[in-house]
Structures are given as C-alpha cells and as structure tokens.
Amino acid sequence: MSKYWKEIVIGAVISGIVFLAFIGVNVVPFLTLVVFVAAFFLVAKPKGGAIAATVERKAKLRTPSYLTFDDIGGQDRAKNELKEALDFLIRHDEIKKFGIRPLKGILLEGPPGTGKTLMAKAAAHYTNSVFVSASGSEFVEMYVGVGASRVRDLFKDAKTRAQKENKESAIVFIDEIDVIGGKRDGGQHREYDQTLNQLLTEMDGIHTTETPRILIMAATNRKEMLDSALLRPGRFDRQIQVDLPDKKGRLHILTIHAKNKPLAMNVNLAKVAEESYNFSGAQLESLMNEAAVYAMRESSEVIEHRHLSAAVDKVLMGERSDRESTKQERERVAMHELGHAIMAEAVKPGSVSQVALSPRGQALGYVRHNPQDDQYLYTKQELEGRIMVALGGAVAEEMFYGGRSTGSRNDFEQVLNLVKTMMDSGLTNLGIVDREMVTQEELMKENNRIIKQLTEHTRDILERNRSVFHQSLAILVKEEVLSGNQFRSLLSLIKQKTTA
C-alpha cells in the first residue's frame, strides 16, 4: 500500500476540496495552501533524480572487508607488479627525490574470475587508502550528462571520504570500464562520449602532490575495445595482465579455499590442481564449494577425492542430468567417447583422466583430459594431435555405424578453431599469410586438406585398435565411469591379448 501513498493523498485532498465546495464552504484558502505545499515539494525535488541517484550510489560505495594480497592466490607476478606500482603512492617522498612522476591510473586486464576486483580491494588495504568502487554500467543513462555528473561525484566522494577518515590517499576503482571507455567512432553516442570525456578530464585533474592523493584503478577483459586516450601515459600508466593461474597458482588458490573445509587425509590438492587445468580463481572457489555440497549430500563427514573429482566435472560441464537414453544411444555415445579416449592415449599417453557415460549439461558423455604440465606454446605436431583427438569420436561412429551424429558438433567447432590457429601461426601449406589477403576459396581448400588428412590418419589408428572398442564397450556401458588408470589398464590388457 505504501507504494501508492502519493496517489491516495492526492485523491483524498481533491475529494475533500470538492466536498467542501459542494456544501458551500469557501475553498479558496484550502486551494492556496495546496498550491503552496505542491510548489514547495516541486522546488525541493532533485532535478532529473540526480540527488536520489547520488544517494543510492553512495550507499554502494562502501569500504570493503579486510582483504590482503596474501588472501589472493595464483597471481604472484601480477601482485608483485601491482605492489611496485602502489609503492609510488605510499613512498611519495622517496620517489620525489628521483624526480619520478607518481602514477595516476592502473588498469587490470584479464579473463573473468581471475581476481581483478579482489586485487583492487587488497591495494586499498596495502596503501591504507579509502576504497571507492563503481561499475561502468552505473554511469550509463539515457539522459545526456547524467553519466558525466556521476563521474564528477565519484571523484568528489573519494576526496571527501579520505578527508573525513583522515587518510592520505584514496583509490577509485571502476569495474567493467570498457562500458564507458570504449573507442569513440564519431557516432551519435553522445552520452557515452560525454561520460568518457569527463573521466579523462578528472584523470588529468588529479594532482599527485596534493593530499589526499587519488589513484584510479580499473578492470576489463576487453582491453582492445578501450579508447586510446585512456591508455596513453599520464592516464593509465600501468597496465597489468591478470592471467588464468598456472598449476602452482591453482594449488595455492585451492589451499586457501580448503582452509575452512574438512578434507580427508588422503586428498591430494596437487592432483586436483592438475585436473582443473585452465580454471579461473572463481571456478576453483566454486569447485571447492561444490565438493563440500557433494560430501554433505552423502552425509560424509569429510570431503573425499571423489567429491573433488565430481566437482571438477560439475564446474566444467554442469550438473549431472537425469535424462534417460535408449540402449542404442548409450552404446553409440560409448563408442564416440572411446574414440576420443583411444586417440588421446595414442597422441599423448597418460593424458586421459576419466571416461564417462553419465550425461552432464548438454553432453551425453565426455572424456576429461589431464595435462601433466601447463602449456602455452604448441608445435604443428601437437596441434595436429589435438585435432585428431577431437575427430576421434566422429571417426569411431563412422567405423561402427556408417555415419556421424549431432554429438560431434562441438568437436567440429574445436577442430575448426585449431585449424584457424595453425593458419594464423603459419603452420600450414599457405605459409605466413594475412587471412584478409587470402581468398575464402584458398582458406577452405587448405582447411579441407588438413581435416581430410588428419581424419584418415585418425581412422588408421582407430582401425588398429578396433578390438579395444568391442571389449571396452560392455564395461563402459555397465560401469558408466572409468578412471584414467582403469582405462589404461584395460587398454594394455586388451592389446596383450590381441598380440598373444
């Protein structure tokens, strides 16, 4: 009812005046009073809702909970680089002797979930600064000038809070800065341009010799979209890459999130770090949380390794599905996944972590791979090996069913991306070329040649292991899940019987 209190009051006033006029009472004094009160509230009302928006936004600009760099795992290089940049803020007297210009802005760039916002909060604690944060989307409004006004208020609030809390510095953090800092193309986006222009003006107006000193930090996962005026020296002086953690970093993150969880004595987090290749910090936190959920479902007092393994699958592909498939479909999926697994072991022995027939998310089955070491550079041979592993499922279906199914769609997307990487890296017969200088026909011809050649090679390898399919099918359909060690033992046993 409180939602419509204004309408109720207005209706009551109008009804009262009409009633008084109807019974012959002089309503002029009442009308004068109503007009006076309405004029008072109209003048006092915030124009365009700017003050109300500022009040609402101020509620969001809160000091973060206690957070240090030690609480952030897996980003040693980025943390050290950021600390060095922050030292310019807290050691201002020392750097003044060397004539060093203090930094005005630090840009954190990296994939989602890697800890950019956490690092900004830790930076505030490291420098004993006031922390004021906002998201780029908060500055975007349909009314021209509102975003620019909010940028001014943001910096003003930072200075005011620093003075009120007797702090020498303040950090202004803008998440998703690409929303307001995108490249200006001369179009009709006046609101976006004015907001960006105001941000640039505020950064130019930061005087690092004044107290409180203001440092602006921002985060984005799309640096290529930012306007060049933001990235020049004197604006965002430091641009720090916050990458996905490596195996050592993943182990550190898992250890941090395992502190408040009852792990079984035999749990090896280093093994989990290997299985969670390419996971972000947010995904690793979710992994530990999901493992605890699985343990609670089973009424287990501790978190076993099987719970962690199931959590890896959950984060990668989603919750296990209740969909029931026919016997023929399950066998076809089993053949498909065995094709992937056999090719993975042929290309890189020991790389299969699990072969599963249980549906998760949109997948009816899957093979989870377990890279021994993080890898960032690939040779032509290694890329071709990955393509053959992806083709293994479809080729296995062709061998036993005479054709493919829609289950190979994601595999083919992966194959095309890998072939594109080979072309862009100069690892094909096209040599070192610019894709825009080569015709579409030439690209398709080379693409088809590579895929056809690797498909034939994949078929040759799988044909030599045809007996593995026949003898593994019943076991996989019955067990539904085979660990990497179980699959390799089975593979070795079948090969010994075949050679004997």
Tell me: do 84 and 205 sit in the same domain: yes
Tell me: do 283 and 421 sit in the same domain: no
Asked whether residue 204 is domain-assigned, the answer is yes
Predicted local confidence at residue 400, as pLDDT = 92
Tell me: do 291 and 438 sit in the same domain: no
Question: Of 463, 472, 479, which is closest to residue 494 (Cα–Cα)?
Answer: 472
Number of domain units in the chain: 4
Residue 393 has pLDDT above 90, yes or no: yes
Tell me: do 339 and 470 sit in the same domain: yes
Tell me: do 178 and 136 sit in the same domain: yes
Which of the pair, 401 or 40, is modelled with greater confidence?
401
Work out the pLDDT band at 45, boundaries 50, 70, 90: very low
Tell me: do 13 and 93 sit in the same domain: no
d(CA 274, CA 382): 19
Work out the pLDDT band at 449, boundaries 50, 70, 90: very high
Asked whether residue 52 is domain-assigned, the answer is no
Biggest CA pair distance of the chain = 117
d(CA 186, CA 160): 35
- Model pLDDT for residues 205-242, shown as the tens digit of each residue: 776 667 788 888 999 988 888 888 888 888 888 889 99
Tell me: do 406 and 266 sit in the same domain: no
Work out the pLDDT band at 253, boundaries 50, 70, 90: very high
One-letter amino acid at 494 equals I
What spatial distance separates the first Cα and last Cα of the chain, rounded to whole Å?
85
Helix (H) or strand (E) holding 481: strand 481-483
Tell me: do 233 and 290 sit in the same domain: no
Task: Report whether 211 contacts 165 (CB < 8 A).
Answer: no
Asked whether residue 59 is domain-assigned, the answer is no
The alpha carbons of the chain give a radius of gyration, in whole angstroms, of 31
Please say which residue of 317, 336, 356 terminates a domain. 317
Examine the residue annotation and report whether 463 is marked as an active-site residue of this protein: no
Task: Report whether 26 contacts 13 (CB < 8 A).
Answer: no
Predicted local confidence at residue 361, as pLDDT = 62
d(CA 177, CA 180): 6
CA distances from 45 to 39, 148, 357, 450 (A): 10, 21, 64, 69
Per the structure, the complete domain to which residue 32 belongs is given by: 2-45
Q: How many CA atoms lie within 13 A of 413 on its CB side?
A: 5
Which of the pair, 190 or 15, is modelled with greater confidence?
15
Work out the pLDDT band at 341, boundaries 50, 70, 90: very high
Work out the pLDDT band at 53, boundaries 50, 70, 90: very low
| Residue 358's CATH number | 1.20.58.760
Asked whether residue 57 is domain-assigned, the answer is no
Asked whether residue 191 is domain-assigned, the answer is yes
pTM, entire model: 0.69
Choice among 274, 275, 337, 446 that is catalytic: 337
Asked whether residue 41 is domain-assigned, the answer is yes
- Model pLDDT for residues 82-117, shown as the tens digit of each residue: 988 888 777 777 877 888 777 888 999 988 888 898
Residue 58 has pLDDT above 50, yes or no: no
